[in-house]
Structure 1
Amino acid sequence: MKKTALITGASSGIGKELARIHAKEGGNLVLVARREDKLLELKEELEQKYHVDVKIIVKDLTVLESAKEIYQEIKEAGIEIDYLINNAGFGGRGKFHERAWEQDLAMIQLNILALTALTRLFLPDFVKRNEGKILNVSSTASLMPGPLQAVYYATKAYVTSFSNAIAEELHDTNVTVTALLPGATETEFAKTSGMDKTSLFERAFEPKDVARDGYKAMIDGRLNVIAGVTFSQRMIMGMAPVLPKKMILKQVRQMQEVKE
């Protein structure tokens, strides 16, 4: 029987590649994003190439009630979701006290509140059926504080912590929760966040490679998967807990400063 995946932020980047992977596996899709034209293009591509059913929902997840509206629309359509993939998110660089509060508030709404609300809405259905998988797209940014991206790093720390906690709560069920922690990835995130001019994004990975690692980890029911990082970056992340915190903070700040 075909599995149906709900993917947020599906119009580009990692979300778009996750949709392609799932469709290639023969699964149906519910794709959520703000840009209707991009969703329609992807729907046509996947339905023609893989002969799967694709429903699109145009929704801005920074709006408080959007998660509930998505859930209700899916219920009314009689669609049963097997995989919930919370991919939508964005960042933004700059000193916290200088950034527009409205931007950071929208970031918190999308990266934390929408993800949490969708998980809360669909998880009881998964538990009742005793099957289902959740993939929450976090970031390697969740593993440390992020000067010049203070709010973004903090939101991703929440995503990883939240995902791991509920995964353990579900230990006696067949429902799994996986956190995907990408490093620098070639998506619209870099440009919209202003990170494309920093040393951190000098070597960014292809979104399809990150999506492939995340999808496989979700299917396998793994707790966390780190994707899109170099060997040296893995070494730094491994050493971070034992290095002086001020040293780590300085290094992260320097990596996120715009190069002249």
Structure 2
Amino acid sequence: MREQLRGKNIIITGASGGIGAEIARLCAASGSNLVLLARSVDKLKQIELELEQKYSTHVDVFQVDVSDTDKIKEVFAQIFKQLGHIDILVNNAGYGIFREAHEATIDEIKGMFNVNVLGLMACTSMVLPKMRERRFGHIINIASQAGKFATPKSSVYSATKHAVLGYTNALRMELDDYNVQVTSVNPGPIATNFFKIADEQGTYVKNVKRFMLQPEYVAQKVVDSMLTRAREVNLPRWMNLGSAVYVLFPRLFERIGKRVLPSK
């Protein structure tokens, strides 16, 4: 039980499966009031039923594609009308498609940026005024190790996560005087349905399967960071060393990486 979360109002995007659903379960077990957003309303309703029966917590679900900014405005207006305020926003919705840059279509590029970047920014912009006014809140952005160092075949996906990290770092400084915390979560590969879209051939999953993080573990680390001053959550820690090596020795990293990392 995480007592600091009892009674807190928490929004989780991309909550219909993977780490989003696991974060919801842990927050429900801690007595939080949940708002779950995703495109699949059927899956959301299943999770809502599960959590309300098991934990007797309050759960609201909304069908939302975060790339639809008009729908985001409409849904967040309903949320504030019902709950009054939001204590924690977890921007978890996102996806990737692994292709070399010359193979990525414009529609694929737009799709990833619309969800991973613009959708995240749109949801954040909805909660910022009230968090600043209350001088309380926490925004948690699920980024990726791909946002710290790029690898072949993830040029567009890495670009979206670089954007998320840039936005997150600037936002943290803007909100520091308002007691609103901002955390980026940078996981490596996670054993979820993400790779059904990202890795159509299955080669990447096959090559990194032994290194994959379990969604329950990632969710636990995310929830442990809630309402703390955690700047970043990097998982696994050894993978985060790659970003340090990249900063210090970029040419060496790229020389080795172009031979070792195109395993997607």
Q: TM-score, normalised by structure 1?
A: 0.91
State the match for 1:98 in structure 2. 103
1:188 and 2:193 are equivalent in the alignment: yes
Alignment of 1:124-139 (within 5 A): 124-139=129-144
State the match for 2:39 in structure 1. 34
Q: TM-score, normalised by structure 2?
A: 0.90
What per-residue deviation string (whole Å, max 9, x for no partner) do you get for residues 175-234 of structure 1? 11111111111111122100742234442010111111122123212111102x263x34
State the match for 2:7 in structure 1. 2
State the match for 2:120 in structure 1. 115
Range with bigger deviation, 239-248 or 39-48: 239-248
What per-residue deviation string (whole Å, max 9, x for no partner) do you get for residues 77-109 of structure 1? 344211111000000011222122212211100
Q: Is the 8 A contact 2:69 2:122 kept in 1?
A: no
CA distance in 2, matches of 1:114, 1:214: 20
- Cα separation, partners in 2 of 1:165 and 1:152, compared to 1, 3 Å: same
Identity %: 34
- Cα separation, partners in 2 of 1:167 and 1:249, compared to 1, 3 Å: farther
RMSD: 1.9
State the match for 2:216 in structure 1. 208
User: One-letter code of the match for 2:261?
Assistant: M
Alignment of 1:55-70 (within 5 A): 55-70=60-75
**Secondary structure in 2 matching 1:77:** helix
**Secondary structure in 2 matching 1:209:** helix
**Secondary structure in 1 matching 2:11:** strand
CA distance in 2, matches of 1:213, 1:230: 12
- Cα separation, partners in 2 of 1:9 and 1:170, compared to 1, 3 Å: same
Gaps in structure 1 of 5+ consecutive residues = none
**Secondary structure in 2 matching 1:133:** strand
Question: Which of 245, 248, 251 lines up with 1:242 in the alignment?
Answer: 248
Range with bigger deviation, 77-86 or 155-164: 77-86
CA distance in 2, matches of 1:203, 1:246: 23
What per-residue deviation string (whole Å, max 9, x for no partner) do you get for residues 125-154 of structure 1? 001011111111001111122321111101
- Cα separation, partners in 2 of 1:72 and 1:250, compared to 1, 3 Å: farther
- Cα separation, partners in 2 of 1:72 and 1:83, compared to 1, 3 Å: same
